[in-house]
């Protein structure tokens, strides 16, 4: 299709959530795959619930996910005049009518119908009314006149199910087009905007499935060609209920804050309900290359954080440490100081990146390095029975560190703002680690010690924890002075434990 155009049309009544993000991604991917355009429209006709901050969040979150609209974003609140002219047309053609029923009266009708076990629909009290000017000054809404001729039905073909969905018109209420305050309702505004902006394909959640016949009626009544429709199933929480705040993080920005990479979230979302054979890893480029509606699943999908975490760790492993440092600094909260962009930090990040599933986790594993001092904790150290041999080892280990050549630690003087500078620094780092390894192994074998028996002692001395980054990297990053300092402090500590 030459001039395909899709759109994402969220209402700014909340942050961009996972379901919306997936819908946006599907629309974006579909348009891009077919060489078409993707548009963003903010459906802010509910003035009560719409908020500027949500609008901004939606736009920012889409950008973060690399979902870029091809056209200027449309705001429905700025198009009220346009909708109005089309209502006038419908009224003139007798396809819509004024309704003066009060909300209280409607509520009564409704309760009555429910009590009689009937479908609660508008009773049609004003359907044939010819209001005079005086009456028009009283509060009213405008309703769509649904074709009530017997057997009338409205249908459309759903691209995902690849089948026609038909609904009897008597299932469809004379729905409101314009509210009492003159603001158009959702079903009316979407149709006008989608038609006027040339949207050819609408991909949306299947919670809209039952709205579609109403919208088809409107397209017909207004003389527009209806676009194609594709209804994607919902995303469910682990309990099988529709995904909501109860299930934990649901907004895109929250995933960002929790240390997820946009690549991971995009990859996860595209695979939630869509597949391309047995492939699991998709870059945005791959997605655009392969995406097609025919591979979208008809059934609802349960959101699974474990798989998202797996993808996140996959993408973290692919990043170079300097980029990771920047990413971590991007999401740091107000209480944290930014990581410094230097080779010592990079060395640890590099060795830690396969050990963390999120950026937040990665940052936390750096605590021992960022903190000036370490508080050794009895509850951890009491598990070990330190003895004189340990003290002796620590003493000579400290001397070994102090005796290391300064040259080994010297690679912090490169220009890390340039790509080649980073590459050189990383190259030098590799050599330094290699040197430390050789020196250290020499030191061990000279004394008939093994890595296995001494590693935990060093780990505890450097971090106070039983789990740490690899030892060579820690020696490099902490540097001679801090290593020696910690070794001495730790020695003192374990001597006191023994007593």
**What amino acid positions are annotated as catalytic residues?**
245
Residue 236 · residue 78 · CB < 8 Å = no
CA–CA distance, 358 with 370 (Å, rounded to integer)? 18
Segment lying near RNA (by CB under 7 A), choices 64-72, 251-259, 272-280, 405-413: 272-280
Identify the three-state secondary structure at position 253: helix
Nearer to RNA, 418 or 456 (CB): 456
179 binds RNA (CB under 7 A): yes
Q: Min. distance of Cβ 142 from RNA in angstroms?
A: 9
**Site string (105-134) toward RNA, x via CB under 7 A:** -x---x------x-xxx-------------
Segment lying near RNA (by CB under 7 A), choices 129-137, 217-225, 366-374, 465-473: 465-473
Q: Which of 304, 405, 410, 496 binds RNA (CB under 7 A)?
A: 304
CA–CA distance, 448 with 441 (Å, rounded to integer)? 10
Residue 358 · residue 260 · CB < 8 Å = yes
Residue 263 · residue 283 · CB < 8 Å = yes
Residue 219 · residue 195 · CB < 8 Å = yes
Q: Min. distance of Cβ 71 from RNA in angstroms?
A: 18
**Which residues pair with residue 171 across a beta bridge?**
none
Nearer to RNA, 67 or 141 (CB): 141
Q: Min. distance of Cβ 124 from RNA in angstroms?
A: 13
Residue 491 · residue 458 · CB < 8 Å = no
9 binds RNA (CB under 7 A): yes
Residue 82, token pair as written in the block: 């346009």
Size of site (CB under 7 A) for RNA: 83
Q: Min. distance of Cβ 87 from RNA in angstroms?
A: 13
275 binds RNA (CB under 7 A): yes
Segment lying near RNA (by CB under 7 A), choices 186-194, 377-385, 388-396, 402-410: 186-194
CA–CA distance, 304 with 390 (Å, rounded to integer)? 46
What is the footprint of RNA within residues 401-460 (CB under 7 A)? 451-452, 455-456, 459
What is the footprint of RNA within residues 133-172 (CB under 7 A)? 139, 141, 161, 163, 165, 167, 171
Q: Min. distance of Cβ 426 from RNA in angstroms?
A: 18
Q: Min. distance of Cβ 58 from RNA in angstroms?
A: 11
Q: Which of 398, 321, 406, 400 is nearest to 362 (CA)?
A: 321
What is the footprint of RNA within residues 310-349 (CB under 7 A)? 310, 313-314, 317
Give Cα separations from 210 to 103, 151, 205 (angstroms).
24, 18, 11
Nearer to RNA, 42 or 414 (CB): 42
299 binds RNA (CB under 7 A): yes
Q: Which sign, positive or negative, has the C-alpha torsion 350, 355, 356, 362?
A: negative
Helices 186-196 + 80-92 axis angle, to 10: 100
CB atoms within 10 A of CB 385: 9
Q: Which of 60, 109, 206, 286 binds RNA (CB under 7 A)?
A: 206
Q: Which of 73, 295, 431, 496 binds RNA (CB under 7 A)?
A: 295
387 binds RNA (CB under 7 A): no
Q: Min. distance of Cβ 238 from RNA in angstroms?
A: 7
Nearer to RNA, 161 or 489 (CB): 161
Residue 469, token pair as written in the block: 């980054």
Q: Which of 40, 146, 236, 264 binds RNA (CB under 7 A)?
A: 236
CA–CA distance, 322 with 29 (Å, rounded to integer)? 30
Residue 222 · residue 195 · CB < 8 Å = yes
Q: Which of 472, 476, 490, 493 binds RNA (CB under 7 A)?
A: 472
φ and ψ at 178, to 5 degrees? Answer: -130, 130
């Amino acid at each position: 299709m030459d001039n395909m155009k899709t759109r994402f049309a969220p209402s700014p009544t909340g942050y961009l959530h996972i379901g919306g993000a997936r819908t946006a991604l599907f629309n974006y991917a579909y348009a891009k795959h077919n060489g078409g355009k993707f548009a963003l429209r903010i459906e802010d006709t509910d003035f009560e619930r719409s908020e500027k901050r949500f609008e901004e969040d939606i736009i920012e979150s889409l950008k973060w996910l690399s979902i870029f609209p091809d056209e200027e974003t449309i705001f429905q609140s700025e198009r009220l005049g346009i909708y109005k002219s089309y209502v006038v047309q419908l009224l003139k053609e007798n396809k819509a009518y004024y309704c003066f029923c009060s909300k209280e009266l409607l509520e009564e009708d409704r309760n009555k119908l429910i009590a009689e076990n009937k479908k609660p629909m508008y009773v049609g009290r004003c359907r044939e009314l010819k209001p005079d000017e005086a009456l028009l000054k009283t509060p009213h809404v405008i309703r769509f006149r649904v074709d009530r001729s017997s057997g009338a039905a409205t249908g459309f073909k759903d691209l995902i199910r690849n089948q026609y969905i038909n609904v009897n018109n008597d299932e469809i209420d004379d729905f409101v087009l314009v509210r009492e305050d003159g603001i158009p309702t959702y079903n009316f505004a979407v149709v006008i905007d989608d038609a006027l902006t040339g949207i050819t394909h609408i991909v949306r959640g299947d919670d809209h499935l039952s709205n579609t016949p109403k919208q088809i009626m409107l397209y017909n009544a207004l003389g527009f060609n209806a676009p194609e429709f594709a209804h994607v199933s919902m995303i469910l929480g682990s309990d099988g209920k529709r995904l909501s705040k109860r299930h934990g993080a649901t907004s895109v920005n929250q995933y960002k804050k929790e240390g997820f990479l946009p690549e991971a979230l995009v990859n996860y979302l595209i695979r939630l309900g869509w597949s391309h054979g047995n492939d699991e890893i998709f870059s945005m480029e791959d997605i655009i290359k392969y995406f097609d509606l025919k591979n979208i699943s008809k059934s609802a999908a349960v959101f699974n954080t474990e798989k998202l975490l797996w993808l996140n760790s996959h993408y973290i492993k692919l990043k170079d440490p300097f980029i990771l440092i920047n990413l971590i600094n991007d999401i740091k909260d107000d209480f944290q100081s930014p990581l410094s962009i230097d080779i010592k930090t990079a060395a640890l990040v590099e060795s830690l990146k396969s050990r963390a599933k999120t950026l937040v986790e990665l940052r936390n594993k750096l605590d021992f390095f960022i903190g000036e001092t370490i508080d050794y904790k009895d509850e951890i150290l009491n598990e070990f029975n330190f003895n004189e041999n340990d003290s002796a080892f620590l003493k000579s280990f400290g001397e070994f560190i102090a005796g290391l050549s300064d040259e080994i630690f010297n690679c912090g003087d490169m220009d890390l703002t340039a790509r080649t500078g980073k590459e050189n620094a990383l190259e030098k780092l590799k050599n330094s680690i290699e040197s430390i390894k050789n020196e250290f192994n020499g030191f061990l074998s000279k004394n008939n010690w093994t890595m296995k028996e001494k590693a935990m002692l060093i780990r505890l001395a450097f971090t106070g924890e039983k789990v740490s980054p690899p030892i060579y990297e820690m020696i490099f990053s902490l540097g001679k002075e801090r290593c020696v300092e910690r070794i001495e402090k730790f020695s003192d500590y374990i001597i006191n434990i023994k007593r």
